[in-house]
Amino acid sequence: MVVSDSIDRGRESFRRRAWGDAFAQLSAAEGDARLEFEDLERLAAAAYLVGRVDDSVGAWARAHHDSMQAGDVARAARCAFWLAFILLNKGELASGGGWVHRAQRLLDDGQLDCVEQGYLRYCASLRSAFDGDVAAAHSGFAQAAKIGDRFGDPELVALSRVG
């Protein structure tokens, strides 16, 4: 099978929400060629959704690195968010917090006002909740939802309201 066939099949499977097949096809393609950003992000998401958490973490880390190499700081921060989200939910507070802080430094250094600020606010709030600081978590989730509203990002708004 040609690499592009695996990528095309992986994309189609992802579109259909056939997570297991998307993971298998995109993993096979990555073994033979470097995946584009969007495909690497699809691989990371599909891996997470089929319970391949370590594979997901690895793919998000590669996507973060590739985004940094390309100079796309906001995308790198988004990848760091997903890394932190997974790690915090696994109870790996130090590692997850480290990714949140790294991404925040990137956005602060670039003085970027972007939706990723809200995603990082969400992660910090999640960590506050895990640490038992319910008031700080509630305030942070509300701030993240406002950022999501401002940038028209329904995914961030939904995550924040659930928080």
Q: Is residue 78 part of a domain?
A: no
Residue environment code for 43-76, b if the CB has 16+ CB neighbours within 10 A, otherwise e:
bbbbbbebebeebbbebbbbbbebbbeeeebbbb
- Domain boundary, last residue among 21, 49, 70: 70
Same domain, 93 and 125: yes
Averaged pLDDT, groups of 10, the chain, 163 residues long = 78 96 93 87 97 96 95 95 90 89 93 94 86 95 97 96 93
pLDDT at 22: 96
Q: Is residue 120 part of a domain?
A: yes
Same domain, 96 and 160: yes
Listed in sequence order, the residues at least 6 apart from 109 whose beta carbon sits closer than 8 Å to its beta carbon are: none
pLDDT at 58: 96
pLDDT at 69: 95
Same domain, 163 and 94: yes
Q: Is residue 100 part of a domain?
A: yes
pLDDT at 1: 47
Instruction: Give the residue numbers spanning the domain of 16.
Output: 1-70
Q: What total of structural domains would you count in the chain?
A: 2
pLDDT at 68: 95
pLDDT at 91: 86
CATH of the domain at 50: 1.25.40
Same domain, 62 and 106: no
pLDDT at 2: 54
Phi-psi region of 124 (alpha: psi -120 to 50; beta: other; left: phi over 0): alpha
pLDDT at 102: 94
